[in-house]
Amino acid sequence: MNHSSVFALLLASSIYAHAAGHSAIDPAPRPDTGWKQRQASFNERVKEVGKKSQLIFIGDSITHSWENDGKEIWAERFAKYDAINLGIGGDRTQHVLWRLDNGNLEGLSPKAAVVMIGTNNSNGEDNTPEQIADGVRAIVEKLRTKLPSTKILLLPIFPRGENPNPQRGKILQVNQILQKIVDDKNVLWVDFGHKFINEEGRIPRDIMPDFLHLSPKGYQIWADSLQEPLAKVLGEK
């Protein structure tokens, strides 16, 4: 094979790879029964609440666990808005994209959507920072299309791991890219990840017991950090 043929083959492969996209932006359901059941329960919940809901949360296990370690804070701070928790443990951006097209937003018109997703895409070599940011961007774009009157409160992916580590660095790179899709009008950046880290750069166990998922203290930090931007979006003093 001559040089021109090799170049043509490489170019074709590159074009195909670009056209095919990557896993973080390819909407996909998960096969496990628990996931299917929770997805179905979301669809029932949104049918029940409908346009009464002023607030939705979208994410993975960290959002999911508002129902566990964050339960009391949720009841105090968000239940009054008929808030809906659309978090599923283990979800990646591609799973959220699929859910948003398959019932999770049906009939909703909330004033605000809190979005925090992508930490599961950051494991190992599964996705690059650019790909993870692509996935989050695709979710934001889908929300803007399906819920044009909803303000999106976009959260950076939270830090993880007790001490500074390569995965934290990868997440920081994603967050730097994500800030570029914020317009301060329809998509707002709400950054408080630094509150989970102490002066030595460590994540305290009383905030994240496993250095990934939040304790009640961690959920209190989240709720307090949302208070001002959420009040503005909801038109509260």
Catalytic residues, by residue number, are: 61, 210, 213
DSSP string, 163-182: S--HHHHHHHHHHHHHGGG-
Q: What's the CA angle centered on 34, arms 31 and 38, to 5 degrees?
A: 105
Structure tokens at 214: 């939040």
Q: How far is CA 228 from CA 130, 211, 216, 231, 235, in A?
A: 30, 26, 20, 5, 11
How far is 108 from 4, CA to CA, in rounded Å?
Answer: 55
Q: What's the CA angle centered on 137, arms 134 and 140, to 5 degrees?
A: 155
SS3 (DSSP) at 188: strand
DSSP string, 69-131: TTHHHHHHHTGGGT-EEEE-TT--HHHHHHHHTTTTTTT---SEEEEE--GGGGSTTSS-HHH
Q: From 97, 85, 109, select the one nearest 142 (Cα to Cα).
A: 97
